[in-house]
């Protein structure tokens, strides 16, 4: 019988192949082998620590691991003080028997939807290494798609789990903010940050979510698609959509309708306009990042990715009064969004308006990078700004991967996963 140790050795060999270049920033081969051997011993004794016992897992390079610096994709963090303990997410994975194989690459300080990194190199997309991987959990998306990990742990502040999941053809789950403790994860924007998994199935994401949220895992029971209420927020979120994405999305809606789902358009542009007005002074993520990086934003400016530095610096122009007002208005809009979603089971829209563009198209062209970065983040950002839970599911049969995003009310994480597992089966 094939052992977990055998499986681990196969994954470690895959990591050394050209397709995995720049996907990992650090590997833990010996610790992983010890964890795999322990999982094999439990299996031989008829014991199990749960659904993740023996699963090969990677973690984004912003989680604390005891005894080492947490770089968060930045060269200036290489000399940071070593973490005194594992982040709760990492500790919970270890207790569940997960085999942590390494840390995955990411956009510097998690501040980009395209996934490039000038310090650690640019991971190539799993479908085509000449294309961007999506960010900020870039290595996580590629690792889950290539199979160098069963589960990749990422973070999502504006789409950083769902974007790389969509662009690499895997499932990416963003839980409600604060469902998983943020301690020990280098922050981008504490008001918007979420921690969640990327994997090849909804069930794997659900099992992982339960572990990192500190809950007992119960296998999913798919909710019936018949009479499932799906709202489609047509309007702003469908502008500039690539034809291939639009066609794949409409085909998915047709299949769900044929299965009995009730699909209809849902007004949302008014709430988007009010949120845009509330945050006109500057993006929430930039304002909060400016505070986090205040001590080194000037002193270490040359060490930053210039594009990341520019976006963080923009947050310094927002006054304390403007920020407080922004967050107060946002709280009201979260309530309004929840009320809008109450008659629905989910909102459905393309996870990203476009498929993965070539790395060459954005690597040296700042204007094109900015344009595509904003477009890449546009749809997924809705989930963070309105404090929703969301998931991206791969749509089959596409030349380049396309993701279907489902959004549900905050706190309805389990229900969203039960809907998603039914939708996943219908689409496959």
290-325 as b/e, with b when 16 or more CB fall inside 10 Å? bbbbeeebeeeeeebbebbbebbbbbbebeeeebee
Radius of gyration (Cα) for the chain, nearest Å? 20
Are β-strands 194-199 and 171-174 bridged in parallel, bridged antiparallel, or unpaired? antiparallel
Residues near 45 by beta carbon (within 8 Å), at least 6 away in sequence: none
- Residue entry with tokens 């304390």: 320
State the distance between the two ends of the chain, measured CA to CA, in whole angstroms: 29
- Phi then psi dihedrals of residue 3, to 5 deg: -95, 165
26's tokens: 């650090």
Active site residue 194: no
132's tokens: 């961007």
Active site residue 103: no
Q: Which of 20, 58, 107, 136 is catalytic?
A: 136
Active site residue 136: yes
Using DSSP's 3-state secondary structure scheme, residue 197 falls into strand
Cα separation values, 224 from 221, 265, 266, 406, Å: 9, 21, 21, 15
Q: Which of 160, 189, 194, 392 is catalytic?
A: 160
Q: Which of 20, 60, 107, 149 is catalytic?
A: 60
290's tokens: 């400016």
C-alpha to C-alpha distance for 40 and 251, rounded to whole angstroms: 43
Catalytic residue positions, numbered: 60, 136, 160
């Amino acid at each position: 019988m094939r052992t977990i140790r055998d499986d681990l050795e196969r994954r470690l060999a895959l990591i050394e192949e050209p397709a995995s270049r720049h996907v990992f920033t650090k590997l833990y081969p010996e610790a992983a082998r010890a964890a795999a051997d322990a999982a094999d011993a439990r299996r031989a004794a008829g014991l199990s620590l749960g659904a993740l016992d023996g699963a090969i897992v990677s973690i984004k390079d912003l989680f604390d691991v005891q005894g080492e610096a947490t770089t968060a994709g930045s060269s200036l963090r290489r000399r940071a003080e070593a973490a005194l303990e594992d982040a709760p997410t990492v500790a919970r994975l270890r207790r569940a028997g997960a085999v942590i194989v390494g840390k995955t690459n990411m956009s510097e300080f998690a501040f980009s939807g395209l996934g490039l990194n000038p310090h650690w190199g640019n991971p190539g997309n799993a479908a085509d290494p000449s294309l961007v991987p999506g960010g900020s959990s870039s290595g996580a998306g590629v690792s889950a798609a290539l199979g160098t990990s069963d589960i990749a742990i990422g973070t999502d502040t504006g789409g950083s789990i769902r974007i790389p999941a969509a662009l690499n053809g895997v499932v990416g789950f963003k839980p409600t903010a604060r469902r998983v403790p943020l301690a020990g994860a280098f922050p981008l924007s504490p008001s918007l940050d979420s921690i969640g998994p990327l994997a090849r199935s909804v069930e794997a994401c659900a099992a992982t979510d339960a572990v990192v949220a500190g809950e007992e895992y119960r296998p999913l029971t798919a909710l019936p698609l018949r009479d499932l209420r799906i709202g489609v927020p047509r309007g702003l979120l469908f502008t500039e959509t690539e034809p291939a994405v639009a066609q794949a999305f409409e085909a998915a809606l047709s299949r769900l309708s044929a299965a009995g789902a009730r699909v209809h358009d849902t007004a949302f542009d008014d709430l988007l306009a009010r949120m845009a007005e509330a945050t006109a002074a500057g993006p929430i993520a930039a304002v909060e990042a400016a505070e986090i990086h205040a001590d080194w934003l000037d002193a270490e400016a040359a060490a930053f990715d210039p594009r990341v530095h520019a976006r963080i610096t923009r947050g310094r122009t927002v006054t304390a009064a403007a920020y407080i007002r922004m967050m107060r208005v946002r709280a009201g809009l979260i309530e309004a969004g929840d009320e809008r979603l109450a008659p629905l089971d989910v909102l459905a829209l393309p996870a990203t308006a476009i498929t993965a563009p070539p790395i060459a198209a954005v690597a040296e062209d700042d204007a094109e990078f900015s344009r595509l970065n904003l477009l890449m983040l546009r749809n997924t950002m809705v989930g963070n700004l309105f404090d929703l839970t969301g998931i991206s599911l791969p749509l089959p049969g596409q030349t380049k991967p396309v993701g279907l995003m489902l959004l549900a009310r905050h706190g309805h994480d389990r229900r969203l996963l039960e809907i998603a597992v039914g939708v996943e089966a219908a689409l496959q």
